[in-house]
Amino acid sequence: MKILLDENLDHRLRKYLNPHQAVTATFQGWGGLKNGKLLDAAERGGFDVLITGDQTLAYEQNLNQRRLAVIALSSVEWRIMKDYLSEILSAVNVAVPGSFQAVNCGIFSRKKPPLSS
């Protein structure tokens, strides 16, 4: 499968999506493209899957008639995402055109845990 990583994702994810071919939107020259324009460019570029951190994309776009699948990750932080690589790859392996999958990769929080008394 040919996978496009949205510009909000860490490029290190690419090398963990084998045997699939993955490139970033920035590498493609599509930095700054959002929502429908990015989906259109990805389809014209022959991509099968878009992986993004934009969890609202399915609500903003009608994906039913799309030729690519969209996978939204709950975190775009590499230090969190790297612990969920098998879940991300599993979502890619079952992706079908026009589908949307949310992958729970934990969440990033700037809050420190409360001090125990």
Q: Look at residue 62 in the predicted model and tell me its pLDDT.
A: 79
pTM: 0.88
Q: Look at residue 20 in the predicted model and tell me its pLDDT.
A: 95
Q: Look at residue 39 in the predicted model and tell me its pLDDT.
A: 94
Cis peptide before 19 (omega within 30 of 0): yes
Q: Look at residue 107 in the predicted model and tell me its pLDDT.
A: 72
Q: Look at residue 116 in the predicted model and tell me its pLDDT.
A: 61
Q: What is the fold, at CATH topology level, of the domain defined by 2-103?
A: Rossmann fold (3.40.50)
Residues in the chain with pLDDT values less than 50: none
Q: Look at residue 108 in the predicted model and tell me its pLDDT.
A: 59
Domain ranges of the chain: 2-103
CA distance 67 to 109: 35
